Amino acid sequence: MKHLAINNNLKFIREEIKMTQQEFADFLNIPLSSYTRFEYDKSDLPLRAIKKIIASFPQINVNMFFTGTKQETNAQITISANNNLKEVVHLLDNYANKIFLDDLIHRLRKIKEASEF
């Protein structure tokens, strides 16, 4: 199963901040087994973990999550950790809220359909 592009670049990001898998898992407050599932693209990295990484490591450009490289091009979104971090966190929150609301709406529609019978 294919998950977020972010997962594919976790190893690059982890190595960039010079942490082992265990150290990175401890930093994120998750078991090593869960972290390795994220790094090997077996499940999606939680939004809270992405936000924590971005907020804690100014050398990690948001671009790295999507490209796995430090290089920035005109076609890529480049974000300064100091200038736009709040905007990125806000966008990530909105994305998570949209997913939650879409799921809630779907469930409510099913309940409504079931109650109409």
The token pair at 39 is 């790094």
| Tokens 């077996």 -> residue | 42
Cα-based torsion angle of the residue sequence 11, 31, 26, 47 in order, rounded to the nearest 10 degrees:
70
Helix (H) or strand (E) holding 53: helix 47-56
DSSP 3-state of 72: coil
* Sign of the torsion formed by the C-alpha atoms of 35, 41, 46 and 48: positive
Residue ranges per structural domain of the chain: 5-115
Summarize pLDDT for 63-97 with one digit per residue, the tens.
676 666 665 544 334 444 444 566 666 666 767 77
Tell me the pLDDT tens digit for each residue of 47-59.
Answer: 788 888 888 887 7
5-115 classified as CATH 1.10.260.40: yes
